[in-house]
Amino acid sequence: MMSRLVFTIFNKAIWLLALWAVAKNAQVVAGFIPAPGAYEYTETTGHDSRRFVWTLEEGGDWILTSEHERERHRAWLDRTLATRKWSLDRPAEKTAITAWREGTTLFIEGTRNGKEYRREYQVGAYPWYQALSLSLRNHLGEIGSTQEFWLIRPDNLELNRLQISKITVEPLRTATTVLPSYRVVIRPSGWKAPFWKGEYWFRRGDAHFVRYRGDSGLPGAPPITVVPSGQVSLKIAD
């Protein structure tokens, strides 16, 4: 029962956060800094798959938009790649939410399923990472280190604390090649840690996000995977 509850909490939310952002011709300046652009990713669970479009803009902050036919997410990230503001729009569900951080307080306000929604959380000094495949790049040079952070589940708007539990350098084997990569493992903080994990791979050299894999349910359920589906080459970096 406990395992089912934990999977319900994390299985569908994390893949969406996994997909946000892609780096092209990145450079190392206190982390991997991406270049603006629009890219497409494919998310697959079992025999089901669908595509999403991500657009990264630079305008003081990084502005990252993720959208498909039913919903749109937009995140504003500071120069450390931490989230300072995030919005969610699902017109068919009459949901329009905005969240933002002021110091150690996180506010969530808007309309959810046609009803007014307001929450306020004290988050301390931990960073807020609502776009994980972008924000995690700031930690790729920290092999062996850990980091706790906050994220908001897009499906139920609950605030969760996660942790980077492992960062390693290892190859990612695909059907056609082997990519020298960073592998980042995230888990829930505290007692939930053994019950769920998500794995991100970033190509060495430019930190391009090349894969996500996460549990989608109880043992035996197909994993959720995310890979680029267009506009970015997957050549092995020198």
Distance CA 29, CA 12 (A): 32
CA quadruple 17, 24, 202, 138: dihedral positive or negative? negative
Chain mean pLDDT for the chain:
82
**Tokens for 217?**
């349910």
What pTM was estimated for this model as a whole? 0.80
Distance CA 168, CA 182 (A): 6
pLDDT digits (tens, 9 = 90+) for 133-174: 889 988 988 887 889 999 999 989 999 999 999 999 999 987
93 versus 24: the higher-pLDDT residue is 93
Predicted confidence band of residue 82 (pLDDT cuts 50, 70, 90): very high
Q: What is the pLDDT of residue 176?
A: 83
Closest CA to 112 of 128, 91, 86: 91
Name the DSSP letter for residue 136. G
Predicted confidence band of residue 194 (pLDDT cuts 50, 70, 90): confident
Predicted confidence band of residue 17 (pLDDT cuts 50, 70, 90): low
Burial call 17-43: b when 16+ CB within 10 Å, e when fewer? bbbbbbbbebeeeebbbbeebebebeb
The enclosing H or E element of 5 equals helix 2-10
How many other CB atoms sit within 10 Å of the CB of residue 54? 23
pLDDT digits (tens, 9 = 90+) for 121-131: 999 999 999 99
Q: For residue 49, with 0-12 CB atoms within 10 Å meaning exposed, 13-18 middle and 19 or more buried, which class applies?
A: exposed
